[in-house]
Structure 1
Amino acid sequence: MSATTPPTPAPGTPTAPAAPAASRTVTGFLSARPVWLVGVLATLAGAVVTEAFALAARAAGVPMEAASPGATEAAEIPVGGFFGGVVFWSVAGIVLAVVLARWARRPARTFTVTTVALTALSLAGPAVAPHTAVSTQVVLAVSHLVAAAVIIPLLARRLPGTRR
């Protein structure tokens, strides 16, 4: 018997209980929920992770001041600003997921391709933010990627591969 082979029970002895059913896993939990609810839960998870990332950057000394296009000076990004931004913009993603689940031929693939492309486009905002420190621009851009890395896979896994 090798170190990687589990021992087999002796004849007549009870076996260990089976591993939990797939429906008890997170993916199983999410697959049994409506798309909109998975979107809300994914959004909350993404917002919390993104805000934690921003708080860590703030603690590391990154100035949290950014300017919108056309602004003459940067304004402070408040604590909770990243959380609110993720929630605000994720509403469009949830609507997109619900619509694709209903009408797209390949909802999961269409959602993934569309949201990855939109995430890539969203990186232009921090890149051109006037009166904003480069370190802040980097944190803003990475925060877009952090939010997307949490939210997109969770919602995409909930969507069907093909429409019936």
Structure 2
Amino acid sequence: MNGMSDTGVVAGASAQAGHAHRFRKLAGTGFIAAVAATLATTLAAALARAVGVDFEVPDGGETIPLSGFTVVTGFFSVVGIVIALALLRWSARPAERFVWTTVSLTAISLVPALLSGANTATTVALLGLHLVPAAVMIPTLARSLRTRTD
């Protein structure tokens, strides 16, 4: 056997194992952050409702239920994790690209709340409730993307 090719095979396998470890670690950290973001957002929505925010959106006159905040926050937190994993795989600067992408998407997500026609209290609460999960997910995942474990 050629010692040089043996080393290449071992080094390649080690790099793949390290990369897989980073993926698992990022996914695990993301999942924990998603649970925290979902709980924080639902709690903030419940507190807003307790102080009188009705969360009534004029289109159809329906009130957003607390479970709606939970489901939407959980879904978009998972979308954020998928974006982070994709950038980890395909970007030379995943943390920087992740922050730019998610801050831009967060800014875009504020537009519907501003255009909803809801009363001022509901609009301000919805804007804040978009920022709560962003404040949890973005720094947590960006920090994980910067961590070198291989």
Q: Which interval holds the TM-score relative to the shorter structure?
A: 0.7 to 0.9
Q: Does 1:42 align with 2:33?
A: yes
Which structure has greater helix proportion?
2
The letter for the 1-side match of 2:51 is A
Q: Does 1:158 align with 2:149?
A: no
With normalisation by structure 1, the TM-score equals 0.72
Q: Does 1:140 align with 2:140?
A: no
Query: Does the CA contact (< 8 Å) of 1:109 and 1:161 recur in 2?
Result: no
Q: Give the 5 Å matches for 1:69-148.
A: 71=59, 73-130=60-117, 132-148=118-134
The letter for the 2-side match of 1:152 is I
Shift in Å at residue 41 of structure 1?
1.0
Cα shift readout 1:34-66 (whole Å, capped 9, x = no counterpart): 212211111110111111111110000011212
Cα shift readout 1:51-85 (whole Å, capped 9, x = no counterpart): 11111100000112125xxx3x2211112221111
1:28 maps to none
Query: Does the CA contact (< 8 Å) of 1:101 and 1:159 recur in 2?
Result: yes
The letter for the 2-side match of 1:37 is G
2:50 maps to 59
2:4 maps to none
With normalisation by structure 2, the TM-score equals 0.78
Point out 4+ residue stretches in structure 1 off by more than 6 angstroms.
none
Report the identity percentage.
41
The letter for the 2-side match of 1:47 is T
Task: Point out where structure 2 has 5 or more consecutive residues left out of the alignment.
Answer: 1-21
Distance 1:32 1:88, change over 3 A: closer
Shift in Å at residue 103 of structure 1?
1.0
- Structure 1: how far apart are the matches of 2:76 and 2:61? 22
- Structure 2: how far apart are the matches of 1:74 and 1:155? 36
- Structure 1: how far apart are the matches of 2:89 and 2:25? 12
